[in-house]
Structure 1
Amino acid sequence: MERVEGASDTEVVGLFASQIAAAVVWGGEVVKRLTRAQREANDHRQLFLEAMELKLVAERTARATEEEAMRAELEVALEGRTVAEDELEEVRIHGRYDFPYLTDEIPEDRGKYLTRDTRRIFAEICYLRRLSPSIKTSIGGISPDTLPTPSDQLFVVADIKEEAQSSPLPTYPSSSTWWCLLVG
């Protein structure tokens, strides 16, 4: 400022002109560098956006594949459940066919200590009669010939009276409980 105060008008214009020329030259370089930096930043931004888009596409593809796999597993599980339900229904129908006289439902309040239905036990004892025809089995005077052949299973024989007919086989005494395993 001191130079400008004591200088003439032409000297002041000369001082500013030299400064303006340097500023214009330097300003052009600054503008070039700023423009180059902005282009590089735009290029980096574009590369970043492309990379993020590729990553997003890969994640969407992975998610779609995982979703398809989960749907397939769900379909298999539902089909397996349907097959299991069909098998259960077949067992129920088969049980009704083998034992049509067993229509009573077992009450659940008695729990695991509930004794088996007498008719079911009698039907299973009739199977023992087929294994050893010399033993006459009866419950309440019901003939075993009227009942179908039971399935093979482990069961408890309760309060069954067996009378031996003339046979070389030993006589079986009355018993309150026998465990029997039927093998078919």
Structure 2
Amino acid sequence: MSHHDLARDIFDRSHLTGEFTLRSGVVAHEYFDKYLFESDPVLLRRIAEALAPLVPAHGVDALAGLETGGIPIAVMLSQVTGLPALFVRKEAKTYGTCRLAEGGEVAGQRLFIVEDVVTSGGAVLDAVGELRNRGAVVEQGVCVIDRESGGLKNLSDIGIDLKALFTMTELKAAGAR
């Protein structure tokens, strides 16, 4: 299957129209419901296989999947790459282990961010700040969809090279028939 075929299949599975308020507060009239493609095991596997070449062959200790949407992608990408996956919460638990990230240690680890959709990059910015405060080295990552709303630039400004599998423009073009 080609990159275009994968884009078309993601579009077909997850593109919705209506009125949607995004995390950033922006109101969008179309939306890619990431949970629709993340809950499809065949499509999720294809996405992970397409993301795998974007993960450096060296210099990464673990994948850091961001709650909630980045976690299933990180798990499948872990299966494809053989790298362990951590599950990064929006905020540290206040009970039990009181950890920000589950699945392993963060301090001193070279983590690779895995996210589903990036708009302004706010969730990734927050996670990277918290992970760095806990001693992690975070410089790179991937997302499935870049909504082309400044997120990749915002992340670049804090030293994060985040690559997107698809831009919103690419998905819309693939969905246009």
Is TM > 0.5 for Structure 1 vs Structure 2? Answer: no
Larger Cα-atom Rg: 1
TM-score in terms of structure 1 length: 0.22
More helix by share: 1
Higher relative contact order (CA 8 A, sep 6+): 2
TM-score normalised over the length of structure 2 = 0.22
